[in-house]
Amino acid sequence: MTDALADHPPTEPQGTRDVYYATTPIFYVNAAPHIGHAYTTILVDIVTRFHRLKGDDTFFLTGTDEHGEKVAKAATAAGVSSQDYVDEISGEFRRTWDAMGISYDEFIRTTEARHQQVVQEVLQRVYDAGDIFYGEYSGLYCVGAERFVTEKELQDGRCPDSEDPPEYRTEANYFFRMEKYRPWLREHILRHPDFIRPERYRNEVLAMLREPIGDLSISRPRSRVPWGIPLPWDDEHVTYVWFDALLNYWSALVSRGVEGRYWPAVNHFIAKDIVKPHGVFWPTMLKAAGLPVYQHLNVHGYWLMDARKMSKSLGNVVRPLDLQEKYGRDAFRYFLLRDMSFGLDANFTEPAIAERINADLANDLGNLLNRTLGMLGKYRDGIVPAFGPLEAADEELRDAFLALPDQMVARFDALQFDRAIEDVMNVVRSANKYIADQAPWLLAKDPDRSARLDTVLRTCLEALRCASVLFESVMPDKCRDLRVQLGLGEGSVTLDDARRWDVIPAGTRASAGEPLFPRIDLEALAREIEAPQGEPLEHKPEIALGDFAKVEFRVGTVTHAEPHPKADKLLVLTVSFGAETRTVVSGIREHYESDELVGKRVVVVANLKPVKLRGVLSQGMILAAEDAQGRLAVVTLDREMPDGSEVR
């Protein structure tokens, strides 16, 4: 048995190339992949492709988490052996990612011998160092999240991560001295502001570290949970599933002999459900094992369906392959990246996908391509002309495109993926405007302006070529098809290709092919989704006009919003009415993030008697609509009105 920890190779020289190692969580194999899993996996695919395009030395890891009580229970429920069960579902994850063109470098399974060996080596090392002891523990355990939860963490008696009720347990286990590393971890996070990003999750972890975190129970008696990796010094116990699972990020590299090359330049991508294991357990485990801690933990929000997290336990899942088939792989990737602001929750609906595709891809990008190739065919028989002399408008568009690669790198570094896309789309829109301004159809009528027409057509062709390079990581197939239509062939590209203008050789034959992004018929989609019939409205008793006139509604702007310190469902808002500012406590925390509300113009019941809500005085109430599923939407105005205006 090789001791991978002792002899991992030194960093191989990579010249000037930056190293970029990115990971998805390894997913539990207790159910089939859904959009939530697909999002993280597609995101990491896009990000690693982008870094590859940029010339970085990249490594992309994904895989499946196959041990633990949750998986064992699912196998029992399915009436098959644990091994058969995990083989089947892990295969389904892998087949799904393959069918979606996910360019992972390694797919790790925690039931593989290569992983188990590394887990045992790390355990032994931490045990030998005296950081593991035997003891008894009682507490609340959540099988859904596979961890002990504290009373304080509970929300309405349920686990904050899985929303399941935990059970009380007493057990003799081995413990990892996690508390010992708390001061070090706190210090590390304070010193490295970008260790956990975005900031809200960094703050969440710092808040956890303000009080003792306790020691971590890292084993389960084999008699109760036989499905796990035996502890190397006591095979009556198996390894706790999180201690096993987190090590995949390291074991996958070790088993390929590339840990010296890629560790610790790692970017972990996860959703906010597993911040504690990644933000607290994992760095302290690494520290105890004598390994450098990872570079970044990047945490995204949830995709919601009808305002609830999409999850297998809630049964509201959408299968990614169905959507890929319906909307196309690349358009679906584009939607996922564009419609979620990294760190915040986003709503998932099919009309939203269709509208996004129509607006951005069919209209903006698709039109630029169709119009350009249409005119090239009509006025130049499809042959790419050389540039004539450049005018200010041509240079302006060129410079806007050539600034995009650096802007995009900065946006990706800042995890602002939606903005990166929007930056490119804005310049694509300027290209459409450029066509309207230059009116090539008029130039074509004037034989003296032939060189000018050449320049305008050529500018549009270069614009499309640059757009195809900039979107390469998001929509690899469509961007390749686009370049084929431009006559450039299927060869690979690098980000530097978007730093050059005047690339397509004059004389190249370009010709329109199938439309890259066909429009989606929104009405047909609406009919297909079928509007819910709904219950008849339940009306309240009638009131006289005078009763209604007693209520004073005012327009105000939310200038600040923060979670209520003592109540999970409440937000404390500061609302400005121009001459007056008030505090309004509102029960919308499950529906809105604080920053989403800041700047919103809302309608407030302004003459409501002030009340104290869990210790905070609330001077008014904001209006929101609620539907039968309990989704909320805050009432806003459809045009500018000064703060303080009365609503009648």
Binding stretches for ligand ME8 (CB under 6 A): 25-28, 36-37, 39-40, 65, 245-246, 248, 270-271, 273-274, 302-303, 309-311
Instruction: Please identify, using beta-carbon distances, which residue of 275 and 555 lies nearer to ligand ME8.
Output: 275
The closest of 60, 104, 120, 112 to 86, measured between CA atoms, is 112
Nearest distance from residue 177's CB to ligand ME8, in Å? 21
- Give the integer Cα–Cα distance in Å for 94 and 92: 5
Instruction: Please identify, using beta-carbon distances, which residue of 28 and 195 lies nearer to ligand ME8.
Output: 28
The closest of 573, 39, 588 to 273, measured between CA atoms, is 39
How far is CA 104 from its chain centroid?
17
DSSP β-ladder status, 296-300 and 266-271: parallel
- Give the integer Cα–Cα distance in Å for 246 and 196: 16
Nearest distance from residue 251's CB to ligand ME8, in Å? 11
Tell me the residue nearest to ligand ME8 as measured from the CB.
36
Nearest distance from residue 25's CB to ligand ME8, in Å? 4
| Three-class secondary structure of residue 206 per DSSP | helix
Instruction: Centre a 10 Å sphere on the Cβ of residue 46 and count the other Cβ atoms it contains.
Output: 23
The number of helix segments (H) and strand segments (E) in the chain equals: 24, 27
Instruction: Please identify, using beta-carbon distances, which residue of 262 and 434 lies nearer to ligand ME8.
Output: 262
- Give the integer Cα–Cα distance in Å for 347 and 360: 18
Instruction: Please identify, using beta-carbon distances, which residue of 128 and 322 lies nearer to ligand ME8.
Output: 322
| Three-class secondary structure of residue 487 per DSSP | coil
Nearest distance from residue 161's CB to ligand ME8, in Å? 8
Nearest distance from residue 271's CB to ligand ME8, in Å? 3
How far is CA 336 from its chain centroid?
8
Query: In angstroms, what CA-CA distances link 188 with 72, 193, 274, 307, 363?
Result: 36, 9, 20, 35, 48
Q: Cβ(431)–Cβ(465) under 8 Å? A: no
Tokens of 520: 């989606």
Instruction: Please identify, using beta-carbon distances, which residue of 348 and 501 lies nearer to ligand ME8.
Output: 348
Q: Cβ(472)–Cβ(490) under 8 Å? A: no
Nearest distance from residue 305's CB to ligand ME8, in Å? 8
Nearest distance from residue 30's CB to ligand ME8, in Å? 8
List the Cα angle 468/471/475 in 5-degree steps: 100
- Cis ω on the peptide bond leading into residue 198 (within 30° of 0)? yes
Tokens of 569: 């469902």
Nearest distance from residue 83's CB to ligand ME8, in Å? 18
| Stated length of the chain | 648
Nearest distance from residue 302's CB to ligand ME8, in Å? 4
The closest of 634, 534, 631, 627 to 308, measured between CA atoms, is 631
Instruction: Please identify, using beta-carbon distances, which residue of 271 and 482 lies nearer to ligand ME8.
Output: 271
Instruction: Please identify, using beta-carbon distances, which residue of 249 and 471 lies nearer to ligand ME8.
Output: 249
Nearest distance from residue 343's CB to ligand ME8, in Å? 12
**Contacting residues for 496 by C-beta, under 8 A, at least 6 apart:** 55, 405
Q: Cβ(605)–Cβ(192) under 8 Å? A: no
Instruction: Please identify, using beta-carbon distances, which residue of 245 and 400 lies nearer to ligand ME8.
Output: 245
Instruction: Please identify, using beta-carbon distances, which residue of 121 and 163 lies nearer to ligand ME8.
Output: 163
Instruction: Please identify, using beta-carbon distances, which residue of 32 and 567 lies nearer to ligand ME8.
Output: 32
